[in-house]
Amino acid sequence: EIVLTQSPGTLALSPGERATLSCRASQSVSGSNLAWYQQKPGQAPRLLIFGASSRATGIPDRFSGSGSGTDFTLTISRLEPEDFAVYYCQHYGSSPWTFGQGTKVEIK
Amino acid sequence: EVQLVESGGGLVQPGGSLRLSCVVSGFTFSANYMSWVRQAPGKGLEWVAKINQDESEKDYVDSVKGRFTISRDNAKNSLFLQMNSLRAEDAALYYCVRGGSFFPQWGQGTLVTVSS
C-alpha cells in the first residue's frame, strides 16, 4: 500500500498569498496518477486536480498541480477567501487507492 | 445537474449489517465506474470499494474484504454497499462517488454509526 504524507499539517496564510502544499508518496506513483481535493466544513470533497497536473472542470487557474514519482505539489497562486479549507491528495496508481491525511489552509 | 443521493445509514450494533444505496442522475450511470469513500468523524478520507460498469471488476480496501460487497443496478441508476460484521472502526460518513480511480462527483454522504 502506498502511504501519502502531506505537509504541512496546517498552513496559516493571508488572502492574496501563495500556498504550496506537499504530498509525498512512500513509493513511486505510477503514471502520475495523483489527484487533489478540497473539502470545506460540512461539505463533500471537490476534485481539483487529476493526473498530477490537469485541472478538473470548473476549477480556477489559480490552482495548479505538479510533480511525479514520489513528490507532488498543489499550488494556489493567490488565495481567495473561499480557498480556506482542507486539501487532500489521493493516488490511484495501484490498489488500494489511498489519501493523504490532509493539509488545512487557514486564515492568518 | 449531477446528483448522487445516498441512503441507508443509521445506528447498528457491532456485528450487525447495513445496506447503503445511492441513486444517481445527471450522467450515464451505466457507462461509469463507481466507488464508495468513507470519512470517520473528524478524520480523513478512505477509499472503500469500486465497481466497473458490468460488475465484472470489484475491488476493496483490505480492511473490508470479506465483509462488504459492492454492487449496482444499471436499470435503476443505483449503487449499493452491503456491509456485514460491522465494527466500531467502520463508523463513518459514507460517500457514493463517480469514478473508479479519481472522483469528480460526490454525494453528500450517509452516516453509519456502530455502537452497542
How far is the C-alpha of B61 from the C-alpha of A95, rounded, in Å? Answer: 8
Whether chain A has a CB inside 8 Å of the CB on B103: the answer is: yes
Q: A50–B102: do the CB atoms touch at under 8 Å? A: yes
Task: Report the pLDDT averaged over residues B25-45.
Answer: 97
Give the model's pLDDT for residue A79: 97
Confidence class for position A59, pLDDT limits 50, 70, 90: very high
pLDDT digits (tens, 9 = 90+) for A12-29: 999 999 999 999 999 999
- Nearest CA to A88 among B62, B37, B109, B32? B37
Which of A43, A47, A49 to substitute to test the interface with B, most B CBs within 10 Å? A47
Nearest to A75 by CA among B20, B80, A67: A67
Length of chain A: 108
Query: Which letter does DSSP use for residue A56 in this model?
Result: P
- pLDDT tens per residue, range B30-39: 999 999 999 9
Contact yes or no for A98 and B95 at CB 8 A = no
